[in-house]
Every structure is written in C-alpha cells, then in structure tokens.
Amino acid sequence: MKRLILLAMSLLVAALLAVGLSSQARAGGNGAEVVREGGGTCRTSDNTDAWFFSCNFQIVFQPNGAITQYLTGSVIPEGSSPLPSKATDVSGGSCFVIQGEVLTTVVAGTVTPSGQVKLTCKS
C-alpha cells in the first residue's frame, strides 16, 4: 500500500492555521490563499521503501475549497531506505492530514536516485 506520512508538516500547518495564515500571499488575484513553509521533515514511501526528507511546501487554498499542495526536498539518509536506482513513483497516498482527516492526496510524486523529492497533492 502506497502511503505518505507527513505528520510533522501537518502539525506545523495546523499550528499556522490556528494562529492565522501569517505567511500567506494572494495568488494571481483570484482570491486564493497561499501558505509557504520550509525547514520541516517529512516522510514518503512506496510499496517497499520509505524516505525522510527535508520538507519545503506551498499550499494553495482556492476560494471554492480546493487545496493544492507542492512539496520539495532532499532525502535525509539517516533512517531512510537506500536511494532508488531509478526515479520512483510515490503517488497515491494521503498527503495533508490534520487530526486524522485527509485533506489532500498525492497525485504525482517521485524520489530520484540523487535524493530529490517532489510531490504534488490535491483535494
């Protein structure tokens, strides 16, 4: 089962939402709210391997309630599986989870042999 566990990021985002979107910006004049954050640690996995990675993310909250989330980072070797020999798909799991509620799901994601992680998640 493909899964993405982003507990650390979820807690950080929950804290940001609780005190207000202090690092927000308007996106393209369409009323969307954008939250950008970095410096956290996230975890992603495929069917057999799991990787911790430095986690920078951007979350776009659309006025219609849709959420799009972008995560990027580099694999942290300690505690992670060995890097894959070719780009590995990690799409399909939950992404943004707050208090057990899945808000977004990974629609596209990869871990590369050089240790780069890129994920796109949508509600």
- In this prediction, residue 31 carries a pLDDT of 85
Expressed as residue numbers, the domain containing 59 is: 4-122
DSSP annotation of 2: -
- Under a CB-based contact definition with an 8 Å cutoff, are residues 122 and 105 in contact? yes
Beta strands in 1-123 (DSSP E): 4-5, 24-27, 32-45, 50-61, 67-76, 88-89, 97-98, 101-102, 105-111, 116-122
Nearest Cα residue to 64 out of 39, 90, 41, 30:
30
- In this prediction, residue 96 carries a pLDDT of 87
What total number of domains does the chain contain? 1
Record the pTM. 0.76
Measure the CA–CA gap between 26 and 37, rounded to whole angstroms. 15
- Please, which residues have CB within 8 angstroms of residue 30's CB and are 6 or more apart in sequence? 62, 63
107 vs 16, which has greater pLDDT? 107
Sign of the alpha-carbon torsion through 29, 32, 37, 41: negative
- Under a CB-based contact definition with an 8 Å cutoff, are residues 11 and 53 in contact? no
- In this prediction, residue 28 carries a pLDDT of 56
- In this prediction, residue 69 carries a pLDDT of 95
- In this prediction, residue 21 carries a pLDDT of 45
Q: Tens of pLDDT along 83-120?
A: 999 999 998 888 888 999 999 999 999 999 999 999 99
Q: Tens of pLDDT along 19-76?
A: 344 344 555 567 899 999 888 999 999 989 999 999 999 999 999 999 999 999 999 9
